Amino acid sequence: MLSLKSKYRTHTCGELTKKNVGEVVTLSGWVHRKRDHGALLFVDLRDNYGITQCVFDGGNEVLEKVRPESVIKITGTVVARDAAAVNDKIPTGEIEIKAESWEVLTNAEVLPFQVFGDDDSVSEDLRLKYRYLDLRRESLHRNILMRNKMIKFIRDRMWEMGFSEFQTPILTASSPEGARDFIVPSRYHHGMFYALPQAPQQFKQLIQISGFDRYFQIAPCFRDEDLRADRLLEFYQLDLEMSFVDLPDIQAVGNALLPAIIKEFVPDAKICPDIPHIPFDEAMLKYGSDKPDLRNPIIISDVTEIFRGSDFGIFANAIEQGAVVRAIPAPNSADKPRSWFDKLGEYAVKELGLGGLGYIVFADEAKGPVAKKLDAERIAKLREISGDNSSLFFVCDKEETAAKAAGKLRNKLGEDLGLIDPKEFRLCWIESFPFFEEDEESPTGLKFTHNPFSFPMATLEDLKTKDPLSIKAAQFDMVLNGAEICSGGLRNYNPEIMLRCFEITGYDEEIVKQKFGGMYTAFQYGAPPHGGCAFGLDRLVQIMLNEPNLREVVIFPTNQRGQDLMMGSPSEVTEKQLREVHIQVRKKG
């Protein structure tokens, strides 16, 4: 490592210990905190590496006026702290610097908010406007440094696994699939636009066609979509692609990488060694989501047949109209007060959009309005699902609506009943996704569910004769604690099959050649079977650091309206700049 010593410092603010007692040292950093004890003035000096306490003789009017976050240089002698003054919370807590000389390098103005400590009352917009101050706060500074270490760890492991790192273009062509593109006007080509990449999908496939075998990059991606706590306009992903592989070969990378990175950066993590493979249909039935949190032990059951023809007319009649009934058990909840069940009923109506929430309480006997309408045999079957001393909640609706509502209720029950261990990490692979799904805006009423370049688990003949909605994709997601952190699969390298897949979604050969001409032409010259995936780095870091918001793990994020309040973007440009790229801005309205 290159020495950190310079004319400003002999040591950093995080490395001095009792072995340095007696040495004369020079430190430079920010005034983290000052404490005036009259005869003595204490200054906590902070840099990227830590904090060191410095002691000055009192009565120094100039130093007393130096504001917090001013940058100063201090020279003094390292002395041992008295036993009662030792701070065992920091590495330098056994020593302090008896200052002999000092110099103000830059003086800070009055701060818009306090950097010392973590004040949760500061608004997010104010924090983002002064992000360089926000990044000095201990928790956020630590998060960003941890992210840096994680990326280095990932990069090292990818090299060890035989991958080569390449960088793909940022200015590329717009794609008709996926989220909205960010477009960039061309100055040289009138009326033409580049697009920022939503992902380097086409380029990484072309890398395989070029014969490089195993590629990866820490790739910047851009999507002009609605924002929320777990989504940003620009983000980074570990992007990888491999030649001559099947699905298990690609998934082996995730199996090797994810448990290793969790173990490295969350030392007290409980990592389940089993990474199950769950078909999409099974995930939607058992968990009500294709992103199941397996830390939650609750399993959803289909009880449609139990209610079919029963005296519980609301469900029985709905079933005859095509509805299904999902049952969600709540273990050890039979002794909950009535108010608890009422609040869950309100949640079902207000948050899930349901007409109500039926339930049975299984104590010594089955209790509740639903139980009164069921015979003993049906009650016994439901008790097997619920277990004793538990409750069983019911959602009745069309299959997709019922599955999603049951999944959200499962998540809420898991949290409310304290069933989820925050130190546990559970991974799984979700597979066998439908290749197509219904879409009213598509010319054919169908669209791709995932990547349009995925390989269908079907022959060309199947694609011509079978119901497209029955076709599955050689596609997978990796899920960690209820969040999708990876998506990938095998790629469609057969031109005929690719054309047929696009035809099903309303794109004829000419459109495919126009939008994906580079890759389509490349397929004519020998494309290897290949596949890959991408891991969302921002979300992975967020989960591992247990942060509720992606902005807590990204160094310079935008706010929830997509604005960079620090740099003032997006912003207007001059009329000259607009003319140079042949653009006229229309008035809104």
504-540: per-residue pLDDT in tens?
Answer: 999 888 888 888 888 889 999 999 999 999 999 999 9
Are both 93 and 152 inside the same structural domain? no
pLDDT tens profile 22-74: 999 999 999 999 998 888 999 999 999 999 999 998 777 778 889 999 999 99
Quick one: 341 exposed, middle or buried, by C-beta within 10 A (0-12, 13-18, 19+)? middle
CATH code for the domain of 374: 3.30.1360.30
Residue 146 placed within a domain: yes
Task: Tell how far CA 303 is from the center of its chain.
Answer: 34
Nearest to 151 by CA among 49, 260, 238, 259: 238
Domains contained in the chain, number: 3
Residue 243 and residue 260: Cα distance in Å, rounded? 24
pLDDT band at 169 (very low <50, low <70, confident <90, very high): very high
The verdict on 47 and 134 lying in the same domain is no
pLDDT of residue 368: 87
In a domain, residue 442? The reply is: no
- Mean pLDDT, rounded, for 389-417: 96
Query: Does residue 155 sit in the same domain as residue 262?
Result: yes
Q: Which of the listed residues 47, 73, 106 is the one where a domain comes to its end?
A: 106
The answer, yes or no, to whether residue 189 has pLDDT greater than 70, is yes
Whole-number pLDDT of residue 120: 80
- Given pLDDT bands bounded at 50, 70 and 90, which one contains residue 589? low
| 447-476 pLDDT tens trace | 998 888 899 999 999 999 999 999 999 999
Verify that 204 and 138 share a domain, yes or no: yes
CA distances from 133 to 49, 126, 128, 137, 551 (A): 16, 10, 9, 7, 15
Both 322 and 362 in one domain: the answer is: yes
**Nearest CA-CA partner of 491 in 480, 501, 478, 503:** 501
Is the same domain home to 261 and 333?
Answer: no
What percent of the chain stands above pLDDT 90?
84
> What's the pLDDT at 230?
67
We report the CATH number of the domain holding residue 90 as 2.40.50.140
- From 366, 396, 420, the end of a domain falls on 420
Q: What is the CATH number of the domain that holds 577?
A: 3.30.930.10
pTM of the model: 0.91
Does the residue 82 lie in any domain? Answer: yes
Residue 545 pLDDT more than 70? yes
Q: Please report whether residue 58 resides in a domain.
A: yes
Q: What is the pLDDT of residues 269-286, one digit of tens each?
A: 999 999 999 999 999 999
Per-residue pLDDT band for 309 (boundaries 50, 70, 90) equals very high
With respect to residue 276, please indicate whether it lies within any of the assigned structural domains: no
Q: Is residue 476 part of a domain?
A: no
Which has more pLDDT, 342 or 589?
A: 342
Residue 456 per-residue DSSP state: B
**Domain encompassing residue 336:** 297-420
pLDDT by residue (tens digit) across 407-422? 999 999 999 999 999 9
Which two three-digit tokens encode residue 464? 């011509």
- Are both 245 and 367 inside the same structural domain? no
**pLDDT at position 229, please?**
61
User: Residue 176 — pLDDT band, cuts 50, 70, 90?
Assistant: low
Instruction: Dump pLDDT digits (tens) for 323-342.
Output: 999 999 999 999 999 999 99
- The answer on 535 and 402 residing in a single domain is no
Last residue of a domain, one of 106, 138, 155: 106
Q: Report CA-CA distances (Å) from 416 to 20, 328, 393.
A: 52, 14, 14
Same domain, 258 and 329: no
Over the chain, what is the mean pLDDT?
93
Is 322 among the domain residues?
Answer: yes
Q: Please indicate, yes or no, if residue 68 is contained in any of the structural domains.
A: yes
Asked whether residue 235 falls in the same domain as residue 318, the answer is no
pLDDT of residue 106: 96
Whole-number pLDDT of residue 364? 86
The reported pLDDT for the residue numbered 177 is: 59
Verify that 301 and 264 share a domain, yes or no. no
